[in-house]
Each structure stands twice: as structure tokens, then as C-alpha cells.
Amino acid sequence: MMVHGGVVDAVRFAPVMPVPDDGDGGFFDPGMPGPDMGAAGDAFGAVFGLVVVVILGVAVFGFVVAIRKHRILKDAGVDPFTVDAAIAAKVLRSNALSPAAPTPEPRPAPTIEMRLAELDDLRSRGVISEEEHRDARAAVLRG
């Protein structure tokens, strides 16, 4: 049994407003690139595809480099996951970062008077003989 009148009939028999057909079935917003954008839509698709390919290429390259580094470190007997800590520990244990020891100041060259006084002292203590003293004194005076 069907009831005529009321809200159901009002909706059923209401005039329908025509909707413009852009050929895309109303899916795309007029500002979005889509099938109706022609060359602009094709260029967007090409650029988007190129960006995706570049990102995938960089990811694959990074993955290959990481695998090669891992293999090299394993072959060298180093744990690849802690290599930075191992290097830091080795550097800290070495003297590479310690300050340089101060170099002693060079002693001034002894003067002729100092050398003659030393020879006299050696002779007086009996370390050298009178003849050695005379020869050494002559050598110092000759220069």
C-alpha cells in the first residue's frame, strides 16, 4: 500500500536541477589536475613520476652503500654497529689528543770562560792530568 502526498511525493516529483557535465563524472575539483587539464595534467604526472623514481633511486643507493660498509667492517673484524664508539675509544686511549709535553729550553752554549773553568775544575779534582788539561785548554782557546 502506497501513501500518496506528503514528503515522499514532494521529493519524488521535485524538479531536478541540471548539473554541468565536464566529462570527468564530477570526481575532480575544477582546480585539480586531471583528465580535463590536457598538457598541464600530463606534465604534472610526468614530474610526479620523475620525483618518485629519484626518491626510489636514492633509497636504493643508500641501501647498497650501507650493505657494502657493513661487509667491509665485518671483514676487518669490527662491529659495524659500534664502529664509531670503537674509534673514539681508541683515539682517547692514544696520545693523539694529549697536549704536547713542553720542550726543555735549550741550554746556552758555554762561553770560553765557562769551558776553561770546567777544565780547571776537572784538573783540580784529578779527573784529567796536567798534560790533558794543557791540551784541552789549547783546543778551547783555538776555538
Q: What is the pLDDT of residues 89-137, one digit of tens each?
A: 888 888 777 777 777 788 888 888 899 899 999 999 998 999 999 999 9
**Helices 112-125 and 130-142, packing angle to 10 deg:** 180
Could you tell me the sign of the dihedral formed by the alpha carbons of 82, 85, 87, 90, in that order?
negative
Residue 3 above 60 pLDDT? no
Q: What is the pLDDT of residue 10?
A: 63
**Number of other residues whose CB lies within 10 A of the CB of residue 119:** 20
Lowest mean pLDDT across 27-31, 62-66, 126-130: 27-31
What b/e string do you get for 79-103 counting C-beta neighbours within 10 Å, with b at 16 or more? eeeeeeeeeeeeeeeeeeeeeeeee
- Looking at residue 81, its pLDDT comes to 87
CA–CA gap between residue 110 and residue 128 (Å, rounded): 20
Q: What percent of the chain is predicted at pLDDT more than 70?
A: 71
- Which of the residue ranges 20-29, 45-54, 63-72, 109-118 would you say has the lowest mean pLDDT? 20-29
* Structure confidence at residue 13 (pLDDT): 66
- Which range has highest mean pLDDT (55-64, 78-87, 94-103)? 55-64
